Chains A and B, each alone.
Chain A
Amino acid sequence: MNGPTPILTLPLEGGGQTRAPLFAARGWAALLAFALTVSVLVPVLFVVVPEGNPVHLSAYFVTLIGKIMCYCVVALAMNLIWGYTGILSLGHGVFFALGGYAFGMYLMRMIGGEGQYQSDLPDFMVFLDWKAYPWYWSFTEHFLYSALLVILVPGILAFVFGFFAFRSRIKGVYFSIITQALTFAFMLLFFRNDTGFGGNNGFTDFKRILGFRIAEPETRAALFAVTGLYLAGVVVLSRAIIRSKLGRVLTAIRDSETRLMFSGYNPLWYKLFVWTLSAVLCGIAGALYVPQVGIINPSEMSPANSIEIAIWVAVGGRGTLLGPVFGAALVNGAKSFFTQAYPEYWLFFLGLLFILVTLFLPKGVAGIPALLRRRATPGTGMALQEEGNK
């Protein structure tokens, strides 16, 4: 081939792309502002500013936002596996709940003799007439061990489940269905009193964490700050993964797994990596959720909960960095409003929202700016999504 050599300027830009900073200056500034808000501003407005002052934040508000931030992390984790890698999990609630239960065991043991029965055992064990902790509760009175369990339990479950599912090349809707079955099976298991996790009541009535009383505003503010910083950290982590070559391999799995295999990649390990990471991120979110909300029970593992996670991501915009965060915040904000104002209409609203987004916003809320730009300048900008599907 001795054709005319084109002037190659673009590839160098493409090569430089990988070395560009993770975020532009504005992005870092926004992240810093968010980190300061959650770790300084909100705690001050909640703890220091007295009640009755118009800028005082209520415990209800702080708990609600803390809870929603946990959901935002779950949405980001879901986005890694679904939005970027194209694997729809309808069982992510199980990882969230297992993280919550793992940390809940520590919180239960910290109740000590302050429970209803003033026993060393949790109330539900006294009620079942158990005399000692089952073996799997061993060492859970140690904070660090419980924190380790928060990572290991969802991580190992995801790794083992994922290994067999991905090795057998289970894909698409079949994978989604077995993840539903997984979370459902765990829900049934945890509903049983004999399982040793409080049956359908789960864990509640927590008193202390690391010696601090959980109901104190200072403790709540600290939990809130940790959750916010964790959320910011997961945003940075997601960005780092997506911008790496590994991120490009993940989207390649989504778009053409066969081509990728014949290019010398084994998709199994890539799927397993992102799937396990996603589960661990959910588990940690669950562990932060439990002390703030004050309860964890098997309904967190209900199939509907996991489907809702997928809806947050779809509403926010799958395969976009921040879309899922907005999606989770938007849907859960609407949920807490609706379930108080018009409880009977919430599910109809959720269903309607999902249908509207699917029909009109393929890239979710995050796709609205691009959509408006395209409206403004007709004829330019093509929807690759449509082009690619031909």
Chain B
Amino acid sequence: MSQLPGVRAIEGGSGLARVATAGLDITHRAILYLDDITVSFDGFKALNKLTLTVDAGELRCVIGPNGAGKTTMMDVITGKTRPDSGTVFFGQTIDLTRLSEAQIAHAGIGRKFQKPTVFENHTVFENLELAMKADKRVRATLRARLSSEQTDRIADTLAMIQLGGEAGKLAGLLSHGQKQWLEIGMLLMQEPKLLLLDEPVAGMTDEETERTAELFKSLAGQHSVIVVEHDMEFIARIADIVTVLHEGSVLAEGPLNQIKSDERVIEVYLGR
């Protein structure tokens, strides 16, 4: 494959975390292309010729039974797992299979893990500061000082995730739901173009879930969002298009109502 403009090829993730994000080209509407992706672990095909396209500004929900390949798909998009075959493009030009995790994050993809993952020994404020979009190379980080605009941005995000009162608290002391929100806040600080959210409302109270749904709906449009979720009620509240994965490939795709009445989907997933 030929060298792509704006993207340096790297070996084993050793490259500096600098990738031109200006290179994201969404002129053909789609922001993410997964084409014919296969990933196998010891002969087990976690993904089997998976093909999926997500449009810019879309909020896509991905559902499927355990082992359908949802998390592996996220791993492939974020560079944690390299596909055995197939291509992953971010916009028209950025080949994600050639970038390290850090470079992919720089290119504009943010990921929330299934288990909320924050820096527990840092304050809520510092968590957001670390995630904030900036030059993340060693020398720049050593000298970094917060500007007042940056402090304001952190304050805005704190307000949005409703943790304004906890800014000075260590993240390890937050409740489960608050940690989920903090992690979402951290993603937003990265100013991503595409957000991948793995079970974002797991362990949240009903009220928290409702607020999260509102937040996600407000994000769609400026960001593209992929949500992996089991909670059908939550999906019903937010989804435009739902993709159902089964045994590593797409079983069905379409509006939720259509999906709900699909015979095959009922059989493998909903009907149980």
Asked if A264 and B126 sit within 8 Å, CB to CB, the answer is no
Q: CB < 8 Å: which of B121, B130, B144, B218 contacts A263?
A: B130
For window 101-152 of B, CB contacts with A under 8 Å fall at: 101-103, 105-106, 110-111, 113, 117-123, 125-126, 129-131, 133, 136-138, 141-146, 150-151
B14 interfacial by beta-carbon distance below 8 Å: yes
A373 interfacial by beta-carbon distance below 8 Å: no
Contacts of A263 in B (CB 8 A): 105, 130-131, 136, 186, 190
Contacts of B13 in A (CB 8 A): 167, 266, 268
One digit per residue, 1 when the CB lies within 8 angstroms of any chain A CB and 0 when it does not, for chain B 152-187 equals: 001100111010111110101100000000000010
B232 interfacial by beta-carbon distance below 8 Å: no
- Given known A11-B125, A265-B17, contact A3–B173 (CB-CB < 8 A): no
- Given known A255-B119, A259-B117, contact A12–B151 (CB-CB < 8 A): yes
B107 CB to nearest chain A CB (Å): 9
Q: How far is the CA of A360 from the CA of B58 in the complex (A)?
A: 53
A6 interfacial by beta-carbon distance below 8 Å: yes
- Given known A249-B141, A256-B117, contact A14–B126 (CB-CB < 8 A): yes
- Given known A1-B218, A6-B162, A12-B151, contact A264–B190 (CB-CB < 8 A): yes
A148 CB to nearest chain B CB (Å): 22
Across the interface, name the chain B residue whose C-beta is closest to A264. B105
- Given known A6-B162, A12-B151, A262-B78, contact A251–B17 (CB-CB < 8 A): no
Q: CB < 8 Å: which of B102, B125, B131, B173 contacts A15?
A: B125
B236 interfacial by beta-carbon distance below 8 Å: no
Asked if B138 and A384 sit within 8 Å, CB to CB, the answer is no
- Residues of A bordering B, CB below 8 Å: 1, 3, 5-8, 10-15, 18-19, 167-168, 241, 244-246, 248-249, 251-252, 255-256, 258-266, 268-270, 273, 382, 384, 387-388
Main secondary structure of the interface of A (DSSP, over half): helix
One digit per residue, 1 when the CB lies within 8 angstroms of any chain A CB and 0 when it does not, for chain B 30-58 equals: 00000000000000000000000000000
B237 interfacial by beta-carbon distance below 8 Å: no
Q: How far is the CA of A11 from the CA of B150 in the complex (A)?
A: 11
B214 interfacial by beta-carbon distance below 8 Å: yes
- Given known A244-B141, A246-B142, A261-B101, contact A384–B120 (CB-CB < 8 A): yes
Contacts of A13 in B (CB 8 A): 167-168
Interface size class, chain B? 35 or more
- Apart from A6-B159, A14-B168, A261-B105, 5 more pairs, CB < 8 Å: A167-B14, A246-B142, A252-B130, A264-B105, A266-B17
Contacts of B172 in A (CB 8 A): 384, 387-388
Contacts of B167 in A (CB 8 A): 8, 10-11, 13-14
Q: How far is the CA of A11 from the CA of B173 in the complex (A)?
A: 17
Q: CB < 8 Å: which of B102, B123, B151 contacts A264?
A: B102
Q: CB < 8 Å: which of B16, B111, B121, B141 contacts A246?
A: B141
One digit per residue, 1 when the CB lies within 8 angstroms of any chain A CB and 0 when it does not, for chain B 183-207 equals: 0001000100000000000000000
B124 CB to nearest chain A CB (Å): 8
Q: How far is the CA of A147 from the CA of B207 in the complex (A)?
A: 65
A-B residue pairs in contact (CB < 8 Å), sample of 22 = A10-B167, A10-B168, A11-B125, A11-B154, A11-B155, A13-B167, A15-B125, A18-B146, A19-B145, A246-B138, A246-B142, A249-B141, A252-B119, A252-B122, A259-B118, A262-B110, A263-B105, A263-B131, A265-B136, A266-B16, A266-B17, A269-B137
B84 CB to nearest chain A CB (Å): 20
B139 CB to nearest chain A CB (Å): 9
Q: How far is the CA of A267 from the CA of B49 in the complex (A)?
A: 32
Asked if B160 and A1 sit within 8 Å, CB to CB, the answer is yes
Asked if B14 and A245 sit within 8 Å, CB to CB, the answer is no
Across the interface, name the chain B residue whose C-beta is closest to A10. B167
B215 interfacial by beta-carbon distance below 8 Å: yes
Contacts of A261 in B (CB 8 A): 100-102, 105
Contacts of B145 in A (CB 8 A): 18-19
Contacts of A167 in B (CB 8 A): 12-14
Q: CB < 8 Å: which of A7, A14, A241, A262 contacts B111?
A: A262
- Given known A10-B168, A262-B105, contact A269–B138 (CB-CB < 8 A): yes
Q: How far is the CA of A19 from the CA of B147 in the complex (A)?
A: 11
B29 interfacial by beta-carbon distance below 8 Å: no
Q: CB < 8 Å: which of A1, A14, A249, A256 contacts B215?
A: A1
B211 interfacial by beta-carbon distance below 8 Å: yes
- Given known A18-B145, A167-B14, A262-B78, contact A248–B122 (CB-CB < 8 A): yes
Contacts of A18 in B (CB 8 A): 145-146
Q: How far is the CA of A11 from the CA of B137 in the complex (A)?
A: 24
Q: How far is the CA of A266 from the CA of B73 in the complex (A)?
A: 22
B256 CB to nearest chain A CB (Å): 24
One digit per residue, 1 when the CB lies within 8 angstroms of any chain A CB and 0 when it does not, for chain B 207-220 equals: 00001001100100
Asked if A266 and B100 sit within 8 Å, CB to CB, the answer is yes
Across the interface, name the chain A residue whose C-beta is closest to B158. A11
Asked if B14 and A251 sit within 8 Å, CB to CB, the answer is no
- Given known A5-B159, A259-B117, A259-B118, contact A387–B141 (CB-CB < 8 A): no
Asked if A251 and B122 sit within 8 Å, CB to CB, the answer is yes
Asked if B120 and A6 sit within 8 Å, CB to CB, the answer is no
Contacts of A258 in B (CB 8 A): 113, 117
Asked if A248 and B129 sit within 8 Å, CB to CB, the answer is yes
Contacts of A273 in B (CB 8 A): 138
Q: CB < 8 Å: which of A6, A168, A241, A388 contacts B121?
A: A388
Contacts of B159 in A (CB 8 A): 3, 5-6, 8
Q: CB < 8 Å: which of B100, B166, B211 contacts A3?
A: B211
A278 CB to nearest chain B CB (Å): 14
Q: How far is the CA of A246 from the CA of B138 in the complex (A)?
A: 7
Contacts of A388 in B (CB 8 A): 120-121, 172
Asked if A15 and B146 sit within 8 Å, CB to CB, the answer is yes
Across the interface, name the chain A residue whose C-beta is closest to B112. A262
B103 CB to nearest chain A CB (Å): 8
